[in-house]
Amino acid sequence: MKLSVIMPVYNEIKTIREIIRRVRAVPLVVSIGYGPQNGQTVTLEREIVIVDDGSTDGTREVLKEYEGAPDIRVIYHERNQGKGAAVRTGLDHATGDIFIVQDADLEYDPRDYPALLQPILEGRSQVAYGSRFRGGPTKAMFFWHMVGNRFLTLVTNILYDSILTDMETGYKMFTREVAQKLRLTERGWGFDPEITAQILRRGYRIYEVPISYTGREFSEGKKISWKDAFTVLKTLFRCRFQRME
């Protein structure tokens, strides 16, 4: 069994080597405590599918150092298209049985992979989200970002009859079966609500696990702003009422 780590990258020259090192370093060993494989230990293979989304700060040159590595695939977008577009490209090239989206900015810790894998490998769900609001260790978030996140998650729960605590989390893990049913179109910040909406509308229930989070400052390159909330809301309502293929 293989885990594909989908890593969209845009102008992350300060962190790209470190995040690759961290993803490579985490042991993908999971002790099964439930279901038919109870008591067994599962060890997964890994591949890292990096999609450079038109970086202009030297990130592309760094990524060329990893071309040819047996565990890394690097794909280049000629121009910046947005996180959603980069994730779609990564999914198209991934060969794993389970997928996870990994941002390159060090806010999320790959050491949480085993906790996310466990409910999937135990057959509890085909989708696992890492929640920053279920008691894991976190660096303090901006207050208004937290309020905005809670509000957007509440809207998601009302529209899709769910009880998520962190719809906007960067850690979304799902099986190949789920990935093959997704019809993603959003290119930018609409990616997170779109994938969540499609997962829920197709009848999958999301298993949340607590994760650690080290939010970075705007001076460190944090990109999201309150204006992006309007894109998220628009996407949530569009996906709720559009016809599913």
As beta bridge partners, residue 100 has: 5, 173
**Per-residue pLDDT averaged across 113-122, rounded?**
96
Which among 84, 173, 58, 80 has a CA at the least distance from the CA of 121? Answer: 173
Res 219 pLDDT > 60: no
pTM of the predicted structure, to 2 decimals: 0.91
What is the domain count for the chain? 1
- Asked whether 104 and 16 are in contact (CB, 8 A), the reply is yes
Give residue for tokens 């905005």. Answer: 148
Each residue's pLDDT tens digit, 158-186: 999 999 999 999 999 999 999 999 999 99
Range scoring the smallest mean pLDDT among 73-82, 158-167, 176-185, 213-222: 213-222
Q: Which domain holds residue 52?
A: 2-241
Please give the pLDDT value at position 76. Answer: 98
Res 127 pLDDT > 70: yes
Each residue's pLDDT tens digit, 5-63: 999 999 999 999 999 999 999 999 999 988 777 888 999 999 999 999 999 999 999 99
Range scoring the smallest mean pLDDT among 138-142, 148-152, 194-198: 138-142
CATH assignment at residue 173: 3.90.550.10
Please give the pLDDT value at position 135. Answer: 78
Please give the pLDDT value at position 43. Answer: 94
Banded pLDDT at 64 (limits 50, 70, 90): very high
Write down the mean pLDDT value for the chain.
91
